[in-house]
Amino acid sequence: MSIQTDASPQVPSNIFKRFRVYLKDFKFAFFIAVIGMIGYSAIDVAVVAQLKPIVDDSLGNGDYQYLRAAAYFIVPIFVLRGIFNFLGTYTVAWIGNHVVMQLRQQLFSRYMHLPVEFHDNNGTGQLISKVIYDTEQVSNAAGKALLILVRDGAFVIGLLFAMFYYSWQLSLIFILIGPLVAVIVSVVSKRFRLVSKRIQDAMGGLTTSVEQVIKGHKVVLMFGGQQIEDKRFAEKNNNNRQQNMKLIVARILSVSSIQVIASIALAVVLYIASFPNLVESLTPGVFVSVVVFMTMLLKPLKQLTTVNSEFQKGMAACVSIFAVLDQQVEEDKGTLSMSRVRGKIDFENVTFTYPSKAEAALKNVSFSMLPGQTIALVGRSGSGKSTISSLLTRFYDNQVGEIKLDDVLLKSIPLKDLRRQFALVSQQVVLFNDTIANNIAYGAQAKVSRQQILDAAKTAHVMEFLEQLPEGLDTVIGENGLMLSGGQRQRLAIARALLLDAPILILDEATSALDTESERLIQDALEQLQQNRTSIVVAHRLSTIENADNILVIEQGQIIEQGTHQQLLGQNGMYSQLYNMQFGEETKPV
């Protein structure tokens, strides 16, 4: 389910229509912005248009009254120009930032509601880059590009109108160069979109590289991977530079081409003006005005060409963002609401294959467990143990067979109700950069008291290390609990599960990576946690599951043995071999 985007030239027309939906809530602000930008450009055109009367009347005929009047009005006019500029620039920036805020919020929300399969198949760095970098490109399209497009577009139209008003014969040449400019803009736009898509991919690669090195910093140091990572990042960094340079080259060539064409038009005008008989009523004021107008057209034409690159980058970013927003969220057709289940679980001939794999992870698996029972899943890594818990919580849906909870099909239960029935404690504990209290209370349905958090902390043996922290429950533990040891983090996860008070508990190798002291404390906390709950234990250390009501031995996605600890030992099968190997390792003298 990796993200597919299309950078083909045909896409942006539809993308722009969709992008305009985000602007519809800002119609009044947009109207104010347009008034400001057009007013700004209109004043510029009006000021430049006064060249003819200044040259012909004031300077030519010696009538200096006009100059005196202009002196009185010039300051108020430029104050008004500044007001118009503020209205246009500020309002457009306000609109652009609101659009980006909406897109980021939608992306963030979509990430949380997309199925696990999507996150399994898409790198974290790429997804972060879409929220940070791609939305910024949309901001430029909605803000900077819109500002230049309207303001400079109005300025160009105003200059052309004034040119034709003074001398339509000299100005007619600009009509002839219009098609050439349109062809250049069209060709360059396709190039802009293609390169912009590559830049976004390159930025995603850069973000991924940085994220991996920061998260795996200790591994990089221990294995001396600095040079490898430095070289890998340098390649991606250079690729990003190359793509940006390609965009700059396309922008420079397009701007230069259009300005050369405009200069040819200006040269033709100058040549025609050298034959006064060809143009009627060609006064010095008219000639100076038309030449100045044409010269002033060069800058806005350059700006309009430059803004095309920003606009195309924004549209390419929209393609990337909409590709995520169009992903199908988790299917949730459950209608049978359940507040608290008893905990009866049934797997009936369940077969499941991961979307990206050819081999089935589970093959015709069947078992049942009654409320309050403990079932253990053992087997080699990759045998399918954790897949069972993923199907129970509907991170994935099985393709064949049925899974029931209290005799109700899982797919009939709304996801929110279903997942509220489970508390998960795994080897990979996920904590948030927040206080210990908030991490323990995370996910609790009702507002919990300080005392309830303390009670859960005591039961989970969190108090043993909590009392040594200066701020106690209010200690901020850093990203993913980096200030805590593995055992301490595990105990926080158990306290969270205790406070959640779910009827079904999933323990996914919760003690496999702990020292003896931590394991003893955590095992005691887990026993407290398992009381009066249905428990599914994915175990590596078989000594922790000897009291389980039923043990399933899984091999290559199939249940090959099941029974109690004593029954399985008596069968002398795979469980017995695993137990003897582990028991031998644990009792082997040092």
Tens of pLDDT along the chain (590 residues)? Answer: 556 544 444 445 687 788 888 888 888 888 898 898 888 888 888 888 777 777 766 666 666 676 777 777 888 888 998 999 898 888 888 888 888 889 989 999 898 888 888 888 887 878 888 888 888 888 777 677 777 778 888 888 888 888 777 777 666 766 666 677 667 766 766 777 677 777 777 777 777 777 777 766 666 776 677 888 888 888 888 888 888 888 778 777 777 777 777 777 777 767 776 666 655 556 777 777 777 777 777 777 777 766 777 777 788 788 888 988 998 888 888 888 888 899 999 999 999 998 878 889 999 999 999 998 999 999 888 888 888 988 999 988 888 999 999 999 999 999 889 988 998 888 788 888 888 898 888 877 667 888 988 888 888 888 888 888 888 888 888 877 778 887 888 888 888 888 888 899 888 876 655 555 556 776 777 777 777 789 898 887 787 788 889 999 999 899 999 999 899 988 888 888 888 887 764 444 43
Sole residue written with tokens 């010039």:
74
Q: Note the pLDDT of residue 277.
A: 63
Q: Note the pLDDT of residue 199.
A: 78
- Give the separation between CA 590 and CA 584, rounded to whole angstroms: 12
Write the DSSP symbol of residue 507.
E
Confirm if 334 and 158 have CB atoms less than 8 A apart: no
Backbone angles phi, psi at 397, to 5 degrees: -110, 135
User: Which token pair is 287?
Assistant: 């000639």
Residue 171: partners with Cβ closer than 8 Å, 6 or more residues away: 160, 163, 164, 290
Write the DSSP symbol of residue 54.
I
- Give the separation between CA 31 and CA 91, rounded to whole angstroms: 9
Confirm if 175 and 161 have CB atoms less than 8 A apart: no
User: Which token pair is 437?
Assistant: 């209290």
- Give the separation between CA 389 and CA 365, rounded to whole angstroms: 13
- Give the separation between CA 201 and CA 123, rounded to whole angstroms: 12
- Give the separation between CA 431 and CA 496, rounded to whole angstroms: 10
| Count of C-beta atoms within a 10 Å radius of residue 377 | 28
Residue-wise DSSP of 57-86: IIIHH--THHHHHHHHHHHHHHHHHHHHHH
Across 488-567, the runs of DSSP E, i.e. the strands, are: 504-508, 534-538, 550-555, 558-563
Backbone angles phi, psi at 282, to 5 degrees: -85, 90
User: Which token pair is 562?
Assistant: 């099941």
- In the chain, what are the domains? 11-325 (1.20.1560.10), 371-390+425-587 (3.40.50.300)
Q: Note the pLDDT of residue 353.
A: 92
